[in-house]
Amino acid sequence: MSPQAFDALAEQAVAALPLRFRRRLKNIVIIVEQEPPKADLLGLYEGGQPFGLPDRITIYQGPHQRLARNPSHLAQLVAETVFHEVGHAFGLNEREVLQQERRLRRSRRP
């Protein structure tokens, strides 16, 4: 997948977040990079940037593509990663983020 197509998936994932979350993303930059600094990362939240710079959420394209079974699964993985990292940006720890992800999955079941 081209970097531009993957960027579009990340943008769609952000747009799909509830409006109350998107409104709170004012000082957070979401970027896409090809590979993470550590092999097991899909995304990374970096808060408390120096000199008043915005916090960063980075979504890594390579690991997502390697995990995805098909294009729809890739979109789902990207959406889950964006949700996960936004949860960290809002101050949730890993356990709390995972609880929220489970709730989200249950609410999406038909």
* Alpha-carbon 104 to chain mean position: 14
Amino acid identity, position 59: I
pLDDT at 54: 92
pLDDT at 31: 96
Q: How many domains, in total, are found in the chain? A: 1
pLDDT at 57: 97
Give the pLDDT confidence of 31-47 residue by residue, as tens digits: 999 999 988 899 999 99
Structure tokens at 98: 């995972």
Domain of residue 52 covers 3-108
The model scores a pTM over 0.85: yes
Task: Answer yes or no: are the C-beta atoms of 43 and 81 closer than 8 Å.
Answer: yes
| CATH number of 69's domain | 3.30.2010.20
Sheet holding 55-60, edge to edge: 28-33, 55-60, 43-46
Give the pLDDT confidence of 2-25 residue by residue, as tens digits: 999 999 999 999 999 988 889 999
Residue in the structure block whose two tokens are 């929220």: 100
Give the pLDDT confidence of 61-72 residue by residue, as tens digits: 999 999 999 999
Give the integer Cα–Cα distance in Å for 46 and 15. 21
